[in-house]
Amino acid sequence: MTVLTIATKPYDDQKPGTSGLRKKVPEFQQPNYAENFIQSVFDSLEGFKGKTLVLGGDGRYYNREVIQKVLKIAAANGFGKIMVGQGGILSTPAASHLIRKYKAFGGLILSASHNPGGPKEDFGIKYNIGNGGPAPEKITEAIFARSKIIDRYLILDEGDIDIDAIGNKTLGDMIVEVIDPVADYAEMMETLFDFDALRALLQSGFTLRFDAMHAVTGPYAKEIFERRLGAPDGSVINFVPLTDFGGHHPDPNLVYAKGLYDLMMSADAPDFGAASDGDGDRNLIIGRGIFVTPSDSLAILAANAHLVPGYSSGLKGIARSMPTSGAADRVAEKLGIGMYETPTGWKFFGNLLDADMATICGEESSGTGSNHVREKDGLWAVLLWLNILAVRRESVRDIVVGHWKTYGRNYYSRHDYEEVDAAAANRLITELREKLANMPGTSFGDLTVTKADDFAYHDPVDHSVSKHQGIRIFFEGGSRLVFRLSGTGTSGATIRVYIERFEPDPARHGLDTQAALADLIRASHEIAPIEAYTGRDKPSVIT
């Protein structure tokens, strides 16, 4: 076994964002770019000699190449074993589960989540720690600091390892175990949900359509919905993972999963429609004729989780990211359990889950999950919905409308301005920040500002503080606007505007969302004149 020490020069742009390092493939293909980052991760960790690393990705373009690099660099750095998904495939939640189940030291997940894939599109590398969750800021900052001064990486001088045949192989002194990516995950789902009840639901004529968007959940969904639960062949569509996701954005929202949405709004709609994203952690839930917003989904799942075996003893608490609507807050209040508001990014839930303060977490960006892993989990959310439907035997629409009746409805929408000039976007946010102190008391039409701030999170477990997590403007009556810049984009900047209005009156629960939010949207243009800064007169995506 020969360990080579290769001299390298640092890159200055390897700062992990909301969810790992994401760049265009050609950037990752620069000399030593991926190697530098992988070595910077290992240089930022201590105590992994002889330990296990979990490795896999969403199968996008460049996945296989980087899998080989990680294997050889990890072996050279002294890992004892790597568990790698067959073909280099692991969904993000499945990787999180494997880290926990096999008590691995950590894991590397190769994905750019819901961003497009292909030779000119996005790639990403994310490090997860031993609890199965994304590395906290302390570690990602150390990785970034290291990447700026790195001058060498270690790599084994060996040929490529066969990652397609299941079983153990050796690479230098390290064992490479190629595992079935689906089996452990599917087994865990059987422990959380009542598979008999789900089979009975599907046998009773209940119909379902799951769109895997040519991304990583295809093999998982086929196994779980069709093989284990007996849904008819064809219930899972677009189930073959493709390196470019068939040329689409593997993002389960109303824009990129339009085909599913149109089906669910048509006369031929099945009872339940769902989709997941590139790496399997996001979810989209649509009932016949009704889209369930992720914020509502979190609230409804939390209110009904006790009906499902894995959560029958109740929830310890609920956590949501700050921009997520307050719908779940009223569920927590009714249940008499804790409610936590964190910055955007799943990594902020890890401490709350580890400390058993929260059981269920969710984000407006189509993420829902629980303490079963330390990532959000698309298929888990779909199974939780199905299990609740199997118990309640009501339609999705009846459950959602009934929920609003009990708790009130939070009209909610997010307007994204994608790929705008980064300097202009930063100027907008900075100048907005400077105006906050003078805002309370000012009015925009009928809306009067009660409070305006720049969200800072004080982690109740490790007491770390994360500042500048989004500008919040609160209005009389409980409405709210949030402005922040996305931390997941790979070109330019994306401005996100989150718009929310609470409506307690059931007689006013049937309005069109954009119409119900019109006055707030107008106010948002006055408060943050995006067009003046960026030249964009309308959002590129509305969710």
Residues designated as active site? 113
How many helices (H) and strands (E) the chain has is answered by 18, 27
* Rounded distance between C-alpha atoms, residue 122 and residue 117, angstroms: 5
Task: Give yes or no for residue 281 binding Zn ion (CB under 5 A).
Answer: yes
Q: Could you tell me which stretch among 143-151, 228-236, 281-289, 494-502 binds Zn ion (CB under 5 A)?
A: 281-289
- What is the DSSP code (8-state) at residue 11? -
Minimum separation from the CB atom of position 307 to ligand G6P (A): 27
Task: Give yes or no for residue 251 binding Zn ion (CB under 5 A).
Answer: no
Minimum separation from the CB atom of position 481 to Zn ion (A): 26
Q: Could you tell me which stretch among 176-184, 379-387, 447-455, 485-493 binds ligand G6P (CB under 6 A)?
A: 485-493
Minimum separation from the CB atom of position 404 to ligand G6P (A): 24
- Tokens at 494, concatenated: 């994306």
Among residue numbers 9 through 28, which ones bind ligand G6P (CB under 6 A)? 18-19
| Residues contacting 434, CB < 8 A, separation 6+ | none
Task: Give yes or no for residue 496 binding ligand G6P (CB under 6 A).
Answer: yes
Q: Do 344 and 487 contact (CB within 8 A), yes or no?
A: yes
For residues 230-263, one letter each, b for 16 or more C-beta atoms within 10 angstroms of the residue's C-beta and e for the rest, the string is ebeeebbbbbebbbbbeebbbbbbeebbeebbeb
Q: Could you tell me which stretch among 56-64, 360-368, 519-527, 530-538 binds ligand G6P (CB under 6 A)?
A: 360-368
- Tokens at 438, concatenated: 């003078």
Residue number, 263 or 360, with CB nearest to ligand G6P:
360
Residue number, 248 or 536, with CB nearest to Zn ion:
248
Q: Do 368 and 297 contact (CB within 8 A), yes or no?
A: yes
Continuous segment of H or E residues that includes residue 333: helix 327-335
Task: Give yes or no for residue 363 binding ligand G6P (CB under 6 A).
Answer: yes
Phi/psi class of residue 20: alpha, beta or left (left: φ > 0; alpha: ψ in -120 to 50)?
Answer: left
Residue number, 72 or 496, with CB nearest to ligand G6P:
496
Task: Give yes or no for residue 209 binding ligand G6P (CB under 6 A).
Answer: no
Task: Give yes or no for residue 122 binding Zn ion (CB under 5 A).
Answer: no
Task: Give yes or no for residue 487 binding ligand G6P (CB under 6 A).
Answer: yes
346 binds, among ligand G6P, Zn ion, none (CB under 5 to 8 A by kind): ligand G6P
* Rounded distance between C-alpha atoms, residue 109 and residue 224, angstroms: 22
| Residues contacting 462, CB < 8 A, separation 6+ | 351
Q: How many residues bind Zn ion (CB under 5 A)?
A: 5
Task: Give yes or no for residue 279 binding Zn ion (CB under 5 A).
Answer: yes
Task: Give yes or no for residue 365 binding ligand G6P (CB under 6 A).
Answer: yes
Burial of 307 (0-12, 13-18, 19+ CB in 10 A): middle
Q: Binding mask 504-523 vs ligand G6P (x if CB under 6 A, - otherwise)?
A: --------------------
Q: How many residues bind ligand G6P (CB under 6 A)?
A: 14
365 binds, among Zn ion, ligand G6P, none (CB under 5 to 8 A by kind): ligand G6P
Q: Binding mask 331-350 vs ligand G6P (x if CB under 6 A, - otherwise)?
A: -------------xxx----
Minimum separation from the CB atom of position 19 to ligand G6P (A): 4
Among residue numbers 82 through 121, which ones bind ligand G6P (CB under 6 A)? 113
Residue number, 85 or 278, with CB nearest to ligand G6P:
278
Q: What is the full DSSP assignment across 233-279?
A: TTSEES-S--TTGGGS----STTTTHHHHHHHHSTT--SEEEEE-TT
> Token pair 């401490």 is at which residue?
351
Q: Could you tell me which stretch among 176-184, 235-243, 255-263, 361-369 binds ligand G6P (CB under 6 A)?
A: 361-369
What's the chain's Rg over C-alpha atoms? 23
Is residue 64 classed as helix, strand or coil in its secondary structure? helix
Task: Give yes or no for residue 140 binding ligand G6P (CB under 6 A).
Answer: no
Q: Which of 261, 305, 251, 304 is nearest to 285 (CA)?
A: 261
Name the residues that contact ligand G6P, by CB under 6 A: 18-19, 113, 321, 344-346, 363, 365, 367, 486-488, 496
